[in-house]
Amino acid sequence: MTVSPALDPRNTARLTISCPDRRGIVAAVSQFLNLHGANIIHSDQHSTDPQGGQFFMRMEFHLDGLDLAREAFEAAFAEVARPFEMSWKVWYTAQPKRLGIMVSKYDHCFLDLLVRRRRGELDIDLPLVISNHPDLEGDARMFGVPFRVVPVTKANKPAAEAEQIRLFKEAGVDFIVMARYMQILSGDFLRGVGVPVINIHHSFLPAFIGANPYRAAFERGVKLVGATAHYVTEELDAGPIIEQDVARVTHRETPETLMRLGRDVERQVLARAVKAHVEDRVLVSGNKTVVF
């Protein structure tokens, strides 16, 4: 069955905006879209403080009827954005975001993303997986995903990161997910790769940062075990948080059972964070996020 362009979910665009809050922002954006024939289908907004705070907005609109080509649309909207000091982006949904994955030996988050992509739950292209170990190459091959091994040691880390940057740029990725990639990324890597990087941390941050939070949680006798998906910054495990969740545990747990329960939470939290990012529902404000 042929889908009408007006109803085709791939014939849409998403506009995200952050700027100082003031009167007239919603009206200016809505009037601009209406003037040029766009049909708004979703609109979300949030103000941190109507008196001098920050304003955030996400609008999704159909392109059918739009009287401007992409370059002309963006040039015209820039004139609307300028007096409001907007930081803004527009993404056309006919172009799936290109995800690069970094993974080590743990497979649970990695495989979950591959399965969700195959089922159509994540609207992404997946041009490259990079690992510092060869263990998961067979799994990647089973899903038809390119897999490159770049070993990392203390001695070769700068050279290894330079090669990873080269590979990701060659693949044209729009963002990267650390699906339990057990290396700390340097500031040079983050600046060099130039795209957002999402990490899944196996703890409910800010508690139990570092490499072995399940052992730390066990020794502390926690009653909840959780996971946190966040954007990666140079400060370890301290980037803006996108998604979190927890599972209730009891005194009967061992470090091993805590880990099994935690991995279930990790999968769900990472999938929700990736989906939110892919759908342009995450706006970063300093070290916090607004998630529509």
Confidence of residue 209 (pLDDT cuts 50, 70, 90): low
C-alpha torsion sign, points 119, 120, 126, 129: negative
Which residue ranges form the domains of the chain, and what is each CATH number?
Answer: 12-92 (3.30.70.260), 97-291 (3.40.50.170)
Residue 259: what pLDDT?
79
Q: What is the 3-state secondary structure (H, E, C) of 95-124?
A: CCEEEEEEECCCCHHHHHHHHHHHHCCCCE
Average of per-residue pLDDT across 96-124: 97
Confidence of residue 1 (pLDDT cuts 50, 70, 90): very low
pLDDT at 3 over 60: no
> pTM for this one?
0.90
Residue 2: what pLDDT?
46
Cβ(222)–Cβ(265) below 8 Å: no
The 10 Å CB-count burial string (b at 16+, else e) for 244-282 is: bbbeebeeebeeeebbebbbebbbbbbbbbbbbbbbbbb
Closest alpha carbon to 242 in 205, 210, 194, 216? 205
Backbone dihedral angles phi then psi of residue 221, each to the nearest 5 degrees: 70, 40
Q: Could you read off the pLDDT of 139-164 as tens digits, one per residue?
A: 999 999 999 999 999 999 999 999 99
Average of per-residue pLDDT across 22-31: 96
pLDDT at 117 over 90: yes
Confidence of residue 208 (pLDDT cuts 50, 70, 90): low
Element (H, E) at 81: helix 70-81
Average of per-residue pLDDT across 248-252: 84
Q: Is 235 exposed, middle or buried (0-12, 13-18, 19+ CB in 10 A)?
A: exposed
Residue 128: what pLDDT?
98
Cβ(139)–Cβ(214) below 8 Å: no
Q: Could you read off the pLDDT of 42-90 as tens digits, one per residue?
A: 999 999 887 779 999 999 999 999 999 999 999 999 999 999 999 999 9
Please report where in the chains the tokens 């140079």 appear, as a residue. 234
Cβ(193)–Cβ(162) below 8 Å: no
Among residues 139, 237, 245, 280, the one annotated as catalytic is: 237
Q: Is 237 a catalytic residue?
A: yes
Between 208 and 289, residue with greater pLDDT: 289
- How far is residue 33's CA from residue 15's CA, in Å, rounded to a whole number? 11
Number of H helices, E strands in the chain: 8, 13
**Secondary structure of residue 59 in the 3-state scheme:** strand
pLDDT at 270 over 70: yes
Residue 94: what pLDDT?
94
Confidence of residue 213 (pLDDT cuts 50, 70, 90): low
- How far is residue 56's CA from residue 227's CA, in Å, rounded to a whole number? 26
- How far is residue 273's CA from residue 266's CA, in Å, rounded to a whole number? 11
Query: Which residues partner with 46 through β-bridges?
Result: 56
Sheet holding 97-103, edge to edge: 147-149, 124-131, 97-103, 175-178, 197-201, 224-231, 241-248
